[in-house]
């Protein structure tokens, strides 16, 4: 009878768990569906942008998103694109879709032959007051339910077997009589003393032995509660430490690690196991061991800077203090902050200030010198005065261009630059850039050629910004290609991206300098000095503009042979 009751209880509990988890998942999907509906409700043309929005929502929410027109046509789906989306069957007959169009919300669970898994579908109207806008549907496999049932199967079975065993034991005890009750209590007390907090003594009856058993069980309950509280606090502390970006280490009086979080292991490349070992044994950083040893000896908290070795050098700021109990040192605690990025930013800031000051000083010095010459009598010589004014004007223009480039670069880096992404024909943007640099190329007798297929799809970019990037790259090629050189702008499709390349046979870039060509004001060599014009910011601006448009830019060059800059941008929708 006990076996049957336990089996029934296990089945009921297993199904209750499945219903509970399914309800939680459905509630979460409903909330996410409302968020998706709020986004889609403001979209004027779902037929054109449905698939893109479905992909975006699916990626952000981590679920399958389907946008369905009122007639059942699928406008967008996270898992389908292009031809597959066009061929998908009509969804008007889906029960969750019908319910959503009728009542505003629908839900269904069906078995998916494709995924071999039960799927939960939650659908909502895009416009709560207008069924004509269609339905947005979210779907997830009910993997969590199956996994929870599988995880609970063993505990339920174990609990059932334990229940049967306890029932048999109690019957056996009842058969043997009260003479065995004190022995059972003694064994229960021994179990509690050995750390088996779940052990309890039989407490049936109203005599003194039963009262003693109940007192023993109450003591065991309180002990179990305290142990559980300590375990929860320990788990919370571990979760807190592992969630910190700072590395934390607690050692004993001998310098052996008692507790260390994941950030510490990542900072110093510590090899597990970490606990129970000295820092030098697990991290192989002598400076770390020296800092811990110094903290154990120190009277006051201390701060140290640790520079790790290896291929990726890091600068770690350590705050250390000894842990005392009644005046005796029982260990040390250390908190580590990775300040590598901060120091790199500070170094970049100093370099930038120095570069800007240097770039501004040259034209300002020239303007000041020629202005003083004019003031001190140069105006009386009209020919010289005209030349001096021209020099002043040229350097003033250089200052203006430099300041405009700095402001433009700052706006791009801070996300304030206006980027309007749309389908942009690459041939048009390239022709606009070629026209801008044609006079300079003709002056150096360059052979400038565009190689762009007529059937090339558009790029998903900002038309003006793409033209600006191409002008910068072509202008750079013209400046650093000797007279009579060749400059080619090509564009090809590579999968979901368009790759635009600007190639020249100019002076090239040394291999050691390639990684720095996109830095602000960086000049590769004396052949790329101010005599070629420009502000030294063109490539930096180009890099940030390409990244703002969702693309990448790279350079390939050999000194004395030429340079190729490649831009990769997403393919835009075809405009008809």
3-class state of residue 426 by DSSP: helix
Among the listed residues 409, 415, 437, 418, the one whose alpha carbon sits nearest the alpha carbon of residue 536: 409
Starting at the edge strand found earlier in the chain, the sheet holding 130-141 runs 74-77, 64-68, 130-141, 117-127, 105-112
Q: What is the pLDDT along the chain (576 residues), one digit of tens a residue?
A: 656 666 666 667 767 776 777 788 888 888 888 888 777 777 777 777 877 887 888 888 888 888 888 888 888 888 888 777 778 888 888 888 888 888 888 888 887 665 567 788 888 888 888 888 888 888 888 776 666 666 666 676 766 677 767 766 766 665 555 566 666 766 776 776 666 666 766 666 666 667 777 777 777 777 777 777 877 877 776 777 676 778 888 888 888 888 888 878 787 877 788 788 888 888 778 888 888 888 888 888 888 888 877 667 788 888 888 888 877 888 888 888 887 777 776 666 665 565 565 556 666 776 777 677 777 776 777 777 777 777 677 667 666 666 665 666 566 665 656 778 889 899 988 888 888 888 888 888 999 999 999 889 999 988 888 888 898 889 888 988 999 899 999 999 999 999 999 999 988 888 777 777 777 666 655 444 444 455 566 677 778 888 888 899 999 988 888 899 999 999 976 444
Q: Where are the domains of the chain?
A: 2-145, 244-333, 342-413, 422-570
- Secondary-structure class of domain 422-570 per CATH: alpha beta
Q: Does domain 2-145 have CATH number 3.40.190.10?
A: no
DSSP state of 566: E
d(CA 519, CA 541): 9
Tokens encoding 177: 């009589």
Q: Is there a shared CATH topology between the 2-145 domain and the 244-333 domain?
A: yes
DSSP state of 573: P
Q: Kindly provide the residue ranges of all beta strands, DSSP E only, lying in 470-539, ordered along the sequence.
A: 486-494, 497-504
Say which residues have a Cβ less than 8 Å from residue 55's Cβ, sequence separation at least 6: 76, 78, 81
d(CA 298, CA 363): 56
Rounded to 5°, the CA angle 249-252-255 comes to 75
- Fold assignment, 244-333: Beta-Lactamase (3.30.450)
Among the listed residues 308, 322, 317, 315, the one whose alpha carbon sits nearest the alpha carbon of residue 335: 317
Rounded to the nearest angstrom, the gap between the alpha carbon of residue 302 and the centroid of all alpha carbons in its chain is: 34
Residue 179, classified by CB atoms within 10 Å of its CB into exposed (0-12), middle (13-18) or buried (19+), is exposed
pTM: 0.39
- Fold assignment, 342-413: Helix Hairpins (1.10.287)
d(CA 456, CA 450): 13
Question: Which residues on adjacent β-strands are paired with residue 107?
Answer: 122
Dump pLDDT digits (tens) for 77-92. Answer: 888 887 777 788 888 8
């Amino acid at each position: 009878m006990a076996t049957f009751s336990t089996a029934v209880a296990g089945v009921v509990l297993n199904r209750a768990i499945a219903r509970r988890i399914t309800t939680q998942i459905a509630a979460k999907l409903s909330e996410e569906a409302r968020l998706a509906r709020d986004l889609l409700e403001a979209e004027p043309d779902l037929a054109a942008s449905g698939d893109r929005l479905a992909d975006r929502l699916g990626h952000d929410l981590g679920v399958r998103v389907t946008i369905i027109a009122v007639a059942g046509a699928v406008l967008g789906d996270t898992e389908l694109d292009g031809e597959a989306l066009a061929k998908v069957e009509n969804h008007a007959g889906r029960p969750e879709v019908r319910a959503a169009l009728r009542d505003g919300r629908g839900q269904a669970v069906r078995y998916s032959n494709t995924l071999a898994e039960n799927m939960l579908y939650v659908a909502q109207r895009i416009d709560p007051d207008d069924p004509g806008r269609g339905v947005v549907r979210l779907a997830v496999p009910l993997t969590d339910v199956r996994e929870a049932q599988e995880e609970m199967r063993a505990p339920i079975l174990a609990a059932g077997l334990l229940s049967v065993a306890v029932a048999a034991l109690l019957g056996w005890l009842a058969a043997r009589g009260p003479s065995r009750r004190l022995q059972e209590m003694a064994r229960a007390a021994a179990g509690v003393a050995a750390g088996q907090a779940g052990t309890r003594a039989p407490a049936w009856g109203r005599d003194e032995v039963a009262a003693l058993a109940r007192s023993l069980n109450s003591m065991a309950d309180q002990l179990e509660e305290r142990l559980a509280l300590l375990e929860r606090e320990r788990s919370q502390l571990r979760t807190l430490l592992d969630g910190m970006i700072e590395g934390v280490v607690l050692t004993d009086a001998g310098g052996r690690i008692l507790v260390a979080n994941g950030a510490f292991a990542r900072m110093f490349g510590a090899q597990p196991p970490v606990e129970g070992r000295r820092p030098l044994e697990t991290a192989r950083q002598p400076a770390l061991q020296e800092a811990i040893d110094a903290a154990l000896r120190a009277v006051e908290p201390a701060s140290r800077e640790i520079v790790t070795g290896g291929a990726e050098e890091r600068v770690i700021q350590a705050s250390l203090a000894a842990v005392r109990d009644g005046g005796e040192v029982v260990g040390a605690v250390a908190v580590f902050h990775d300040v590598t990025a901060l120091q790199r930013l500070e170094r970049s800031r100093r370099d930038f200030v120095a570069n800007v000051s240097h770039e501004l000083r040259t034209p300002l010095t020239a303007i000041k010198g020629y202005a003083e010459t004019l003031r001190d009598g140069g105006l009386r010589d009209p020919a010289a005065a005209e030349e001096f004014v021209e020099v002043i004007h040229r350097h003033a223009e250089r200052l203006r261009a430099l300041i405009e480039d700095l402001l433009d670069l700052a706006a791009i880096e801070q996300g304030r630059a206006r980027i309007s992404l749309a389908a942009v024909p690459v041939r048009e943007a390239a022709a606009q850039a070629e026209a801008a640099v044609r006079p300079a190329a003709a002056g150096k007798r360059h052979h400038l050629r565009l190689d762009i297929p007529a059937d090339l799809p558009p790029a998903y970019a900002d038309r003006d910004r793409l033209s600006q990037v191409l002008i910068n790259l072509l202008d750079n090629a013209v400046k650093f290609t000797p007279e009579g050189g060749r400059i080619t702008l090509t564009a090809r499709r590579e999968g979901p991206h368009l790759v635009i390349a600007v190639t020249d046979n100019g002076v090239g870039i040394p291999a050691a300098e390639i990684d720095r060509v996109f830095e602000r004001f960086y000049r590769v060599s004396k052949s790329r000095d101010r005599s070629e014009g420009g502000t030294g910011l063109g490539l930096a601006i180009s890099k940030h503009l390409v990244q703002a448009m969702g693309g990448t830019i790279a350079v390939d060059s050999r000194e004395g042979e030429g340079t190729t800059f490649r831009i990769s941008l997403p393919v835009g929708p075809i405009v008809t």
